[in-house]
Amino acid sequence: MNSCLICGKHTVLGRSHTHHRGVAGGRWKKRAPKTNRTFKANLQKVTVVFESQKASVKLCAKCIKRIKKDIADGKKPILMLEHLVKPKAPEPQPPVATAL
């Protein structure tokens, strides 16, 4: 079953209700119909960096939003998203003295 790596959110079964309320006495013809349906989590496939290793995982949109907010606020996020990791700039080479 697909689920979020951080919070474990996954597809849940439930019932859909219409707005028709029915009548007093509970006669079947007038009762609002209830049908089965599935509530799916908004899972996204993202690449994360964990201990200098890249991995493709599924996260829900709420967890991705939380990670981005933690980074913006200066807090340490649970996982680091690959596209938010700044590549290390190469160290500048010291100037080489040449004899003329």
Using one digit for the tens of pLDDT, what is the confidence trace for 29-86? 666 778 999 999 999 999 998 888 899 999 999 999 999 999 999 998 888 888 877 6
Cα pseudo-dihedral 19, 20, 23, 26, rounded to 10: -80
Which has more confidence, 43 or 96?
Answer: 43
Q: Is the pTM of this model over 0.85?
A: no
Name the 3-class secondary structure at 63: helix
Domains held by the chain: number: 1
Can you give the pLDDT at residue 30? 62
- Closest listed residue to residue 7, CA positions, set 56, 51, 50, 58: 58
pLDDT greater than 90 at residue 88? no
Does any domain span residue 23? no
Q: Does residue 74 lie in a domain region?
A: yes
Where in the sequence is the domain holding 50, given as residue range(s)? 12-18+31-84
Does residue 48 sit within a domain?
yes
10 close to 41: Cβ distance less than 8 angstroms = yes
In a domain, 3, yes or no: no
4 in any annotated domain: no
Nearby residues of 49 by Cβ (< 8 Å), 6 or more positions away: 79, 80, 81, 82, 85
For residue 46, tell me if it sits in a domain.
Answer: yes
CA proximity to 8, closest of 55, 56, 62: 62
